[in-house]
Structure 1
Amino acid sequence: MTAFFSIKRIAWTLATILFILPAPLAWAKTKPVMHKVKAGDSLWSIAGKYKVEVDTLRKLNKIKGNMVKPGAKLIVRPGSSKGKSTASATKHSSKSAKVSKTSGTQITKSQKSAGKISKNNKKAKKRFESVQHKVKRGDSLWSIARKYNTTVTNLRKINGKSVKSLHPGEVIVVKHVPSGDGPVRLEHGVQLPESGLGFVAPRRERVWGTKTTVTAIMEACAETAAEHPEARPTYIGDVSYQRGGYMPPHKSHRSGRDVDLSYYHNDPKSRHAFTNVSTSTLDTERSWTLIESFLETKDVKSMYIDYRLQKPLYEEALRRGIAQDVVDRLFEYPDGVGSGKEGQTIIRHVRGHDDHIHIRFYERPEDVPSS
Structure 2
Amino acid sequence: MRRLLACLILLLALPVSSSASAQTWKVRRGDNLTFIARRFDVAIDDLRRWNQLRSDRLHPGQQLVVKPKTAPRPKDDRSDGHPARSRRPPVPQPNVVVGAGDSLNKIAKRHKVTVSDLRLWNQEVTGDHIRPGQRLRVGSFYAVQKNDTMGAIACSHGVVVDELLSWNPGLDRHRIRPGQRLVIFDNPSARQKPPVSPPVVESRKVTSAVRSKMEPSKPVAPKPERPSLRFGVRLGKHAGYAIRTLRRSYGTQTTIDALTGAFDAMVKRHPKGSRLWVLDLSLPRGGPMKGHRSHESGRDVDVTYYQHRCGQRACQQRPLQARHLDAKRQWRLMSHWLRRGDAQFMFMDYDLQVPLYAAARKAGATKKQLEQWFQYPRKKKVRKGIIRHAPNHRDHLHVRFRCPKRDRSCR
TM-score by length of 2: 0.44
Greater percentage in helix: 1
TM-score by length of 1: 0.49
